[in-house]
A and B are shown apart, each in its own frame.
Chain A
Amino acid sequence: MVIKEIIYLMQKEFLLEWRQKHALGGIMLYLVSTIFICYLSFAGIMSVPTWNALFWIIIAFASLNLVLKSFADETSGRKLYLYTLATPSAIIFSKILINSIVMVVLGVLGFILFNLFMGNMAGGNFTYWLVLIIGVLGFSSILTMVSAIASQARNNFTLMAILGFPLILPLLLLLIRASLLAIEGASIKSVSGDLVVILLLVMISLTLSNILFPYLWKE
């Protein structure tokens, strides 16, 4: 029943995203501009650890921007309408899923672009790709709940950043470490410990979102 609701809500989200292509295009352009700025600023002083840390910081900012708008578009009328139709769990899970899907696409595109501009240091490395996909899943699952909180307050971009950054910091540290290992040619087995911890964080934030979101939703 909830799964059916989630599927319907996701269809609605996809449709809305498709109709507002400019919003997604904005995030894409944001990613391209940031990477281009880094390309110009870091020319000639790039080492592998810097390359890696820079990539993750760019992805963290891009996901912050992407997730921020997932609740900003909900007008109070539409919120009320959704409230009468769907359960809070279905709403938050559909938002997390949609953010995860868009983030995976964005992460992959960002990675390709980053490799193009900043030099190919990890391309074609399967372990790195795995870390990338699991990492963006982590970002979207933690930040979606933060976005739900921030969207109800004033000046929500600043709030989103200050509420979200301390919470994704553990993820960022784990990802930078695991991906650096991946660049150095480590096998999946040697980064699996970090990946399990990231998945654990994802599970915890999903559980907490499920428990806490109903309190945000009802007015």
Chain B
Amino acid sequence: MPNKTWNYTWKIFTIVLMLYVILGGLLFEVPALPVIHQTIRNIYFHVGMWFSMIFILFVGFLFSLAYLRTFDLKYDRMAFATVKTGLIFGFLGIITGMIWAQNTWGTYWVNDPKLNGAAVGILVYLAFLILRASLDDPEKRGRLAAVYKIFAFVIMFVFIMILPRISGPSIHPGVDGNPALATGDLDPMMRRVFFPAILGWILFSWWIYTVVERKDKINQKINQLNADQL
């Protein structure tokens, strides 16, 4: 019974949190800074999207490991759903980032280690989708996809660690290799919204993930039923 209550309690909590983030993010006072002005409010949205993408993709990495250990197709479906969800948040992060960049740096894209790292990461996961699409046998598809995902995830991780030292100084704020983790220099006023925003976005992304996963599961069942009838 407590399990069932929890099932919707955390969703209500997420809704409240996200409403607070949207209202607080757009209405609360922010420090008046040159260049960035009111666009600083984007930090509650743009950064939150990247946090939730990284969270979801890390969970997906664990699902892929679980698939290779058990060969249970459930984990393959879950890993696939994390990639789809992660890509949605990745694209949202890129779009909000590009609009922000146009307003503060004067250009949609700069040759910057963090932006390039994000772009390459998205390329890897798009390639993952193509790899899955070009295989038919579910068991083999799951196996190859999981192997590529684990291989790519580890190499990408190293890449993101070494990228800042290859490309020199970055225009994008945040500690080297950890975009936007430098909360130390965040105004206390803004922290009141920023930390709930991160939690809210992560919970929200998990919610989206469960919806995507359930849709895949139902589609799988329908396909199976259709196949049985034939």
Contacts and interface: CB of A to CB of B under 8 A. Distances in A.
B22 interface: no
Contacts of A204: 154-155, 158
Interface of A: 142, 145-146, 149-150, 152-155, 158-159, 162-163, 165-167, 169-170, 173-174, 177, 194, 197, 200-201, 204-205, 208-209, 212, 215-216, 219
Interface residues of B, number: 29
Nearest to B135: A153
A167 B152 contact: yes
Contacts of B155: 142, 167, 170, 201, 204-205, 208
B143 interface: yes
B151 interface: yes
20 contacts: A145-B151, A149-B148, A149-B151, A150-B131, A152-B144, A153-B134, A159-B131, A159-B134, A162-B123, A162-B130, A165-B123, A166-B121, A166-B127, A167-B152, A170-B166, A194-B166, A205-B151, A212-B68, A215-B143, A216-B147
Contact of A215 (B120, B130, B146, B156): B146
Interface in B145-174: 146-148, 150-152, 154-156, 158-159, 162-163, 166-167
Contact of A153 (B131, B151, B154): B131
A197 B150 contact: no
A88 to B, nearest CB: 12
Contacts of A173: 163, 166-167
Given A149-B144, A159-B131, A162-B127, A212 B150 contact: yes
